[in-house]
């Protein structure tokens, strides 16, 4: 079964809007795990506009399921990840001024840079996933730098799903096949939702993990957290 990892950045965004500790990020992560989520994802950024570095440290002791830390591997991020030693680190090439991640790595152009970082994390016993667009060359590049997995950047799929879901999924099916043939595990994330997740999983049932934050947290405002997680898990059965 494909694992559901809940990205809790948006919970931290709400907390930070008022200060204090409401909602409680750590408590929310505990609840997600107790309700059936098989992982928690955080994406700390240098400006700490949502998840803070201290949150990452606070979350580590309460993790029952897999902990996935995403981010651009700047020195401060590398130090944090090596201190926490999560199950997985996902390397994302986001600039400091972007609102949200908007592109995958060019694993060919950044080959030497990424190879060294991947090796550093793997030597610490951390599984490494690399965020990529659904392009065969980029997937093959991730394998060549020693990554354990790729995370397919699914914004294009989500955007085009409402127009032609078959055409929208085709690049991802092809990229996933290339990943399999190169011995890579497959994760996916960005704009996956209750609307489009079931079809994505039906076409690529061997995806190891999906990381979902914005849509899931938004759904929970209407459905409640327990019902929301239940529905996402059904999509992955």
Q: Among 43, 50, 65, 209, which one carries the catalytic annotation?
A: 43
The DSSP H or E segment spanning 59 is: helix 53-59
Q: Among 65, 190, 201, 209, which one carries the catalytic annotation?
A: 190
DSSP state for residue 232 in the 8-state scheme: H
Strand partners, 71: 91
User: How many other C-beta atoms can be found within 10 angstroms of the C-beta atom of residue 3?
Assistant: 18
In contact, 53 and 25? CB cutoff 8 Å:
no
190 catalytic, yes or no? yes
Q: CA angle at residue 229 from 131 to 206, to 5 degrees? A: 45
Q: Pick the closest to residue 35 from 226, 194, 209, 216 (CA basis).
A: 226
Q: Among 50, 65, 66, 70, which one carries the catalytic annotation?
A: 70
Strand partners, 40: 6, 67
DSSP state for residue 70 in the 8-state scheme: E
In contact, 87 and 126? CB cutoff 8 Å:
yes
70 catalytic, yes or no? yes
Strand partners, 39: 5, 66
Helix (H/G/I), strand (E/B), else coil: 155: helix
Q: Pick the closest to residue 148 from 194, 114, 196, 197 (CA basis).
A: 114
166 catalytic, yes or no? no
Residues annotated as part of the active site? 43, 70, 190
């Amino acid at each position: 079964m494909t694992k559901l990892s809940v990205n809790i950045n948006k919970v931290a965004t709400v907390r930070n809007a008022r200060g204090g500790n409401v909602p409680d990020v750590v408590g929310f992560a505990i609840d997600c795990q107790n309700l059936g989520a098989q992982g928690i994802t955080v994406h700390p950024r240098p400006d700490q506009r949502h998840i803070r570095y201290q949150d990452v440290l606070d979350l580590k002791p309460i993790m029952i399921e897999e902990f996935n830390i995403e981010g651009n591997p700047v020195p401060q991020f590398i130090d944090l990840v090596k201190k926490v030693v999560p199950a997985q680190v996902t390397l994302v090439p986001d600039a400091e001024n972007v609102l949200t991640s908007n592109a995958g790595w060019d694993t060919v152009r950044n080959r030497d840079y990424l190879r060294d970082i991947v090796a550093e994390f793997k030597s610490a016993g951390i599984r490494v996933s690399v965020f990529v667009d659904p392009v065969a060359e980029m997937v093959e590049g991730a394998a060549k730098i020693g990554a354990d997995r790729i995370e397919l950047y699914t914004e294009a799929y989500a955007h085009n799903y409402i127009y032609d879901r078959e055409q929208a999924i085709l690049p991802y099916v092809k990229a996933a096949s290339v990943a399999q043939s190169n011995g890579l595990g497959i994760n996916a994330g960005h704009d996956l939702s209750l609307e489009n997740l079931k079809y994505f999983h039906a076409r690529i049932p061997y995806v190891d993990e999906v990381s979902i934050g914005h849509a899931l947290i938004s759904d929970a405002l209407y459905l409640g957290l327990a019902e929301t997680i239940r529905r996402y898990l059904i999509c992955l059965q």
